[in-house]
Structure 1
Amino acid sequence: MVTPAAQAQKEFTVNEAFALIDALLHIAAEGEASEPPASPADGECWIVGAEPSGEWSGQAGAIACRQGGTWLFLMPSEGLTLFDKAAGCTVRFADGWHRATPVALPDGGSTIDAEARTAIADIVGALESLGILPDS
C-alpha cells in the first residue's frame, strides 16, 4: 500500500499538537534558568535565560517544556503571560520577559494617615495574593 504525501506519521503531528496544547493551556514555569535542571520531570516548564547552555543552547527567552523525555521549545508571542512559581507572580512577555517588582509600603513622612496606609497595605496585599505583584 502506498501512503499518500503528507500522510506518513500523522500521529506524530497530532501528538506534537497535543504536547503544545498541554504546555500552553495553563502554563506555569518553575522559574528562569540558563541551563536545564539535572533531573527534569515531564510537564515542567522553564523560562530560558539570556545565556543558555547545554540542551537549551540557542533558545534564549524561549519557554522550555519537558514532554516525553525531551525538551519542547516555545517562542513566546507579545502579550503572553505565565505564572512564575519561583517568583510567585505572573510574568508577561513584551519584547522580553517582565516581572513586577515588590512595592514598598509607605513609611515615615511629615503627615501620617493611618487609614490611607491601611488601605494601601490592603491593596498591595491583594495584588500579592493574586500573583500580580511578588511578595515584598
Structure 2
Amino acid sequence: MTVTARLGLPLIATGQAQKELTHNAAIHGLDRLVHLCVESRTLSVPPALPSPGATWIVGEGATGAWEGHAGALAHWDGAWAIAAPAEGTLCWIADDGIVAVFGGGVWNADFLPVAGLRVGGVPMLAAPPVAIGAPEGGSVIDTEARAVLESLLDYLREQGLLTS
C-alpha cells in the first residue's frame, strides 16, 4: 500500500476494492496526528483502561504493547496504533500543561525553536536586550515617580527585555 511521505497516511490505489477502508484509515490517521494533544509523556506502561481517542508519548523503558517505541505516539482506538512523529511536530502535553516540539529524534519542551516574536507585525525580542539606567539626579526628586519607573524597569528585566 502506498502512503503519504510525511504522515504515512494510506492512499487509495487505482481500481482498489473497498476504498472506504483506506479512506477511513487515512481519516483516523489525521484524527490522531492533527492538532496533537497527548495525555502524558512519562508513561512507559500502556494504561489498563484508556479512553477512546487518547494518545500518549511513549516513555523510556516502555513495556507491553509499547515496548521498543520510546518517543513514539501511542493512540488508543480499540487497539494501539503506534506512529513515529514527524520532524517539527508540535504537541500539547495535558498533564504538564506545556507544548513540546519533536526534533532531532526527541521531544523537547524546554524551548520552542523560534527566530523571534512578532506582535501586530512588529518584531519583538529579535535583538539583544538593551541596558537602560535607573532614574537618578535632578534638582527635584519625585520619589513616587522614581519608584514606579524602577518597578517598571525591574519587570522588563525579569521578562528579559532589558539587561541591568
Could you state the TM-score of these two structures normalised by the residue count of structure 2? 0.58
**CA distance in 2: counterparts of 1:120 and 1:85, whole angstroms:** 30
Amino acid at match of 2:69: Q
Question: Is it true that 1:61 corresponds to 2:98 in the alignment?
Answer: no
Runs of 4+ in 1 over 6 A off after TM superposition: none
Output the CA distance in 1 between the equivalents of 2:86 and 2:15.
28
Matched, 1:75 2:75: no
Q: Which residue of 1 aligns with 2:45?
A: 35
TM-score by length of 1: 0.69
Q: Give 2:102's aligned residue.
A: 93
Give the counterpart letter for 1:18 in structure 2.
I
**How many equivalent pairs are there?**
108
CA distance in 2, matches of 1:97, 1:11: 34
Give, in whole Å, the separation in 2 of the partners of 1:120 and 1:37.
Answer: 44
Residue 125 of structure 2 is aligned to residue 116 of structure 1: no
SS of aligned partner of 2:49:
coil
Return the letter of the residue paired with 1:85.
A
Q: Report how far residue 9 of structure 1 moved.
A: 3.8
- CA distance 1:98–1:10, change in 2 (3 Å): same
Task: Name structure 2 gaps, 5 residues minimum.
Answer: 1-13, 112-133, 135-149
How far did residue 100 of structure 1 move?
1.9
- For the residue of structure 2 that corresponds to 1:72, the secondary structure is strand
- Root-mean-square deviation (CA), in Å? 2.4
Equivalent residue for 2:59, pick from 46, 49, 61: 49
| Map of 1:14 onto structure 2 | 23
Distance 2:95 2:15 in 1: 42
1:29-59, Cα deviation, whole Å (9 max, x unpaired)? 1111111112101111100112111111121
Higher helix share: 1
The structure whose Rg is larger is: 2
Identical residues among aligned pairs (%):
34
Q: Larger relative contact order (C-alpha < 8 A, sep ≥ 6)?
A: 1
Structure 2: how far apart are the matches of 1:72 and 1:117? 50
